[in-house]
Structure formats: structure tokens, C-alpha cells
């Protein structure tokens, strides 16, 4: 096992703990419910820490649990320095931090700096104070266009659909890049920056090991908030339209905010920050992980890649190139709470599961930091929920044309044969769980050496103990069409992937682990393998 910067062994540290850590994303609402209300909570997480230790992850990332009206399931924060009663209280959080550390894991939490809830005291004060007030300067309030001010101040659209502006009773408009209940903060205001520092120190003083920064490429807005070319609009930035600039995101001034965050973290040795960064160009991404900014940046290239060897290899090469000159490790993820689960993306059913198993070994063989989204270790697919169950604001904002993200947020099945499979002692979870998930429970999969959970456990154990995982660079082998193989330079691990329709000869080496049954000395389709 590699020594990290805070390991107790004597000798100089090799690397910070996050350099090659495996993080486990806990979507708090959907992990485990301790009080029977059908919604996951902090005590539920604490009750399952033994499972996470058994799985073999190094750190947790908790989605928002702060006080919130829950218009966007916690990403609309009314008080960033308190726990919403739905999830527990500060005492429950402190117990969770202590127990997580006792289980040998780190704990990181979400930070939502781009916007607040419309129920935040600041926003309520701004509404009462009226146009031209100092209270409104903490947000982006503007007069509308046209003789009666009835046209929004610019043509920006919300990520959740519809205009990015909402008009208030006195006639002014306020900016919200997401839901109307999430007004964007004005980051040029000193109160906004001072409040962030207070929030950071509040949670760091309670023992958290780091933060995941929501919309880390947001916050800063261009002077004057000019109109933008609509062709630039994609999910979060202009990643699919490089000839057009999405003025809503990735403005240069955002780096001043990250330097402020880093300055605070430097007062707490051994802590870190990872940013959600939806930018396409490698040089733009690299700017976020400079030595005085974020320690890590979420790279979504594997999420965007198809199950095709050439597509996956391009994603890997681009991800490594983005951090090559920064000193920051690459990050890898296949799913999260905002995207369709990769079992479903890869075709669903047995086909999607085979491909997901193969990609799990590819991801865990790569140098850098890995993020596992809760439930992917069980092979959970996206769920096609009925219309009545949908809660994501995208559903309403799009006029019921986009179903939103609820399908990847269905709670985890723990045990038993019927919903809610041990997730809650309540009769129903906050999102309905499929009747066929009895075969996917943790209980069932722990007993099956061929299950997805067993594959993840075995892979994580090998990743921690085998010598072949050293080195930060890859060497690519020649491979048949539809296949690739790479070797970890400095370690020696070989990972091969076959996305073609026929078996192919294996690279030379001793097999450590395969994602599925092998065919003699041949690598079958939709299969990956580790060798040394």
C-alpha cells in the first residue's frame, strides 16, 4: 500500500491522500433511511459505514444536507452552516465525521457557491429592500428591457429550461442559471466572499477533509451581462459548440474565487477541494487545477464516451493531457447524480451490465483519483419512473419534455425481496423502487462471488495491494480494431479492453482479474482484464 501525506509511517510522504484515492459519492437522500420517513439521512449513512469499509473505498463525498426548502433536493441552500432536519442535525453530522474517520475513511462534503435558495435570509432581505438597495447587490438584480421593463435583461437561458431571469413584484428581474428558487450570487460583493470563508472554516473546524464544489466553473459573470449566441448553450458550458462562447460559465474571474478557497484550505493541512468543471478544452480545464487553486477537477470525458475502444481511449488521452502540466492527478468517473447510470447508457440489461463491468476495471486501472457513484457497485440501472413520481425541477421547467435526473437517484436496495429492500422501514421510499431489484440487493450480491459488488470489492482490494498500480503515465500497446491495451509505466499493470464483436488474443502476462469469463488465452467481447 502506498504511503500518503498523512500516513503515520516514518519517512517522507509520497503523495497526498487524494492522489489515487477512491471516493464514494453518497447521494444522501437515497443511501439509507434511519428514521422511517422514506428519505435517506446522516444516521442512515453512519449505520452503513461498515459496508463502505468492506467495499474498500478511501473517502466519502456527501451531497448537500444543509437547510433547504428542497426545490432542487438540497442544491438550493438556505443556510450553508446547518443541517436540514430532514437529514438530522449538527450532532448527527459530528458523529458521522468521527465514525467515518474511525473506519479509516475521509469525508468530504458539497459546497454550493454559485447560488442560494430564494428562502435564504439575504434574498428575502433583498426582496423587502427593493430596487437600488445595498441588499440587492449580493445578487444579480436588473431592470428589464423595453418601455415597461417586461423583457428579461438578457437572452440567457436556465440550465433547467426556460429563461434565466424571474421578475419580482416591484418590476426588477433576478438571475438564476438553474431554478427560479436558486438566485445566483454576485461574487464581486465582499459579503459573498466573506460568507464563503466563514462556511469553509465552519465545516473544516468540524473535521471534514475537503469539499466538492458545485458548478465550479460558474460564479463569475461577464461585466454587463451581455446577450450570448444561443448556439453556445449545452448542458453546463459550450462543450459541444467550441466556436461559440457560453457567457454563463468559465469566465476568467472565477479563478480568483478558487484562489480564495485554496487559501483557506491551506490553513488546514491534509484537506482538499475538487471542482465540478464542465469545460471541454484541455487548457481551460487545466487552469482550475493550478497550484494555488483546486486540488482536483472532475473530468467527465469517460461519462461522455461511448462503449467503444477508440472513444474510451480518446477520453483517457484527453483527460491525462488536461492535467499533464499541472501536477494534479486526473480524475475518473462513470456516473453521478446528474447523468444516466452507465449500465443503462451502455445498452441496459445483460449487455449494459457486461459493459459496465468491463469499464469498471478500465476506470480503476487508470492513474489518479476515482469517484464511484452509490449503487454503481451494485450494477443499478436507471429507472424509468412514472410521471407522477418525478421531482426533478427539470421536469416542470421543460414543460414535461425532459424527464430530469430522478431515474439515477432511486434509493439503494440493501436486503430482502420487496421494496424498499431495507433502505427504510417505511413502506415506500421517496422515489419508487422497482419490484425486480431483489436480485440486486447488497445482501444477495455479497453472497455471490460473480456479482458486480464482488467484482468491485476484488478490484479495489487489488488496486490497494498490488505493485502494478504505480506510475502516473500510460504506455499504449498495438491492439486489434475495437480493442486497446495500456500499461502503467512505473508499475507494470496491463489493462486490456475488447469492445469488438469477436474474441482477441490476450496481451502477455499473468491474469489478476477479469470483468467476465475468459476464453482460454482470448479476451472475449465486452470484457476487460488486468494482467501483470
14-42: burial string, b at 16+ Cβ within 10 Å, e else: eebbbbbbbbbbbbbbbbbbbbeebbbbb
Q: Which residues pair with 115 in a beta bridge?
A: 184
The active-site residue out of 76, 276, 280, 472 is 276
In sequence order, the 6+-apart residues with CB closer than 8 A to the CB of 266 are none
Closest CA to 429 of 157, 40, 131, 6: 40
In sequence order, the 6+-apart residues with CB closer than 8 A to the CB of 321 are 282
DSSP state of 302: H
* C-beta separation of 8 from 44 below 8 A: no
Where are the extended beta strands (E) located within 125-270?
Answer: 141-142, 165-167, 173-175, 210-213
DSSP state of 332: E
Dihedral of alpha carbons 429, 434, 436, 441, sign: negative
User: If DSSP codes are grouped into helix, strand and coil, which group holds residue 312?
Assistant: helix
276 is known as an active-site residue: yes
The active-site residue out of 43, 72, 118, 214 is 214
DSSP state of 230: G
* C-beta separation of 92 from 43 below 8 A: yes
Three-state SS for 233-247 is: CCCCCCCCCCCCCCC
C-alpha cell at 106: 475521509
262-294: burial string, b at 16+ Cβ within 10 Å, e else: bebbeebeebbbbbbbbbbebeebbbbbbeebb
Q: How far apart are CA 432 and CA 285, in angstroms?
A: 38
Dihedral of alpha carbons 3, 6, 11, 16, sign: positive
* C-beta separation of 83 from 206 below 8 A: no
* C-beta separation of 341 from 335 below 8 A: yes
Strands 173-175 and 165-167 come out as antiparallel
Closest CA to 372 of 72, 59, 112: 59
Strands 494-498 and 59-62 come out as unpaired
214 is known as an active-site residue: yes
Residue whose entry in the numeric block shows the C-alpha cell 415506500? 428
Active site residues: 214, 276
Amino acid at each position: 500500500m502506498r504511503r500518503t501525506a498523512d500516513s503515520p509511517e516514518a519517512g517522507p510522504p509520497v503523495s497526498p491522500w487524494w492522489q489515487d484515492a477512491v471516493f464514494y459519492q453518497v447521494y444522501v437522500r437515497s443511501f439509507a433511511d434511519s428514521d422511517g420517513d422514506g428519505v435517506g439521512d446522516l444516521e442512515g449513512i453512519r449505520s452503513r459505514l461498515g459496508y463502505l469499509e468492506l467495499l474498500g473505498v478511501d473517502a466519502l463525498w456527501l451531497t448537500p444536507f444543509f437547510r433547504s426548502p428542497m426545490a432542487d433536493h438540497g442544491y438550493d441552500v438556505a443556510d450553508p452552516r446547518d443541517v436540514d432536519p430532514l437529514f438530522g442535525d449538527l450532532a448527527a453530522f459530528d458523529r458521522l465525521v468521527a465514525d467515518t474517520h474511525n473506519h479509516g475513511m475521509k469525508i468530504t462534503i458539497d459546497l454550493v457557491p454559485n447560488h442560494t435558495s430564494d428562502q435564504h435570509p439575504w434574498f428575502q432581505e433583498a426582496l423587502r429592500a427593493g430596487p437600488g438597495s445595498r441588499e440587492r447587490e449580493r445578487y444579480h438584480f436588473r431592470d428589464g428591457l423595453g418601455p415597461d421593463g417586461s423583457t428579461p435583461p438578457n437572452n440567457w437561458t436556465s440550465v433547467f429550461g426556460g429563461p434565466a431571469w424571474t421578475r419580482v413584484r416591484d418590476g426588477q428581474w433576478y438571475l438564476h442559471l438553474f431554478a427560479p428558487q436558486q438566485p445566483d450570487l454576485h461574487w464581486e460583493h465582499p459579503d459573498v466572499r466573506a460568507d464563503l470563508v466563514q462556511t469553509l472554516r465552519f465545516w473544516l473546524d468540524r473535521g471534514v477533509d475537503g469539499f466538492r464544489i458545485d458548478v465550479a466553473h460558474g460564479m463569475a459573470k461577464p461585466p454587463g451581462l451581455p446577450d450570448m449566441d444561443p448556439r453556445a448553450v449545452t448542458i453546463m458550458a459550450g462543450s459541444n459548440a467550441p466556436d461559440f462562447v457560453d457567457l454563463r460559465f468559465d469566465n476568467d474571474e472565477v479563478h480568483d474565487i478558487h484562489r480564495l478557497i485554496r487559501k483557506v484550505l491551506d490553513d488546514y493541512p491534509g484537506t482538499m477541494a475538487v471542482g465540478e468543471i464542465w469545460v471541454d478544452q484541455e487548457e481551460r480545464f487545466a487552469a482550475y487545477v493550478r497550484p494555488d487553486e483546486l486540488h482536483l477537477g472532475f473530468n467527465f470525458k469517460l461519462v461522455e464516451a461511448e462503449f467503444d475502444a477508440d472513444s474510451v481511449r480518446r477520453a483517457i488521452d484527453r483527460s491525462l493531457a488536461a492535467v499533464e502540466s499541472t501536477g494534479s492527478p486526473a480524475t475518473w468517473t462513470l456516473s453521478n447524480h446528474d447523468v444516466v447510470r452507465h449500465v443503462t447508457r451502455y445498452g441496459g440489461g445483460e449487455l449494459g451490465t457486461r459493459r459496465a463491468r468491463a469499464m469498471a476495471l478500465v476506470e480503476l486501472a487508470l492513474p489518479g483519483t476515482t469517484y464511484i457513484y452509490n449503487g454503481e457497485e451494485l450494477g443499478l440501472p436507471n429507472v424509468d419512473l412514472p410521471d407522477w413520481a418525478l421531482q426533478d425541477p427539470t421536469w416542470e421547467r421543460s414543460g414535461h419534455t425532459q424527464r430530469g435526473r430522478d431515474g439515477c437517484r432511486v434509493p439503494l436496495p440493501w436486503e430482502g425481496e420487496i421494496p424498499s429492500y431495507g433502505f427504510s422501514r417505511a413502506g415506500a421510499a421517496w422515489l419508487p423502487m422497482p419490484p425486480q431489484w431483489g436480485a440486486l440487493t447488497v445482501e444477495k450480491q455479497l453472497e455471490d462471488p460473480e456479482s458486480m459488488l464482488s467484482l468491485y470489492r476484488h478490484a479495489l482490494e487489488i488496486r490497494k495491494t498490488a505493485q502494478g498500480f504505480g506510475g502516473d503515465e500510460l504506455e499504449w500497446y498495438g491492439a486489434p480494431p475495437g480493442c486497446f491495451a495500456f500499461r502503467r509505466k512505473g508499475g507494470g499493470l496491463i489493462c486490456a479492453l475488447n469492445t469488438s464483436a469477436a474474441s482477441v488474443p490476450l496481451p502477455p502476462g499473468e491474469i489478476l482479474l477479469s470483468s467476465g469469463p475468459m476464453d482460454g488465452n482470448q479476451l472475449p467481447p465486452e470484457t476487460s482484464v488486468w494482467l501483470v
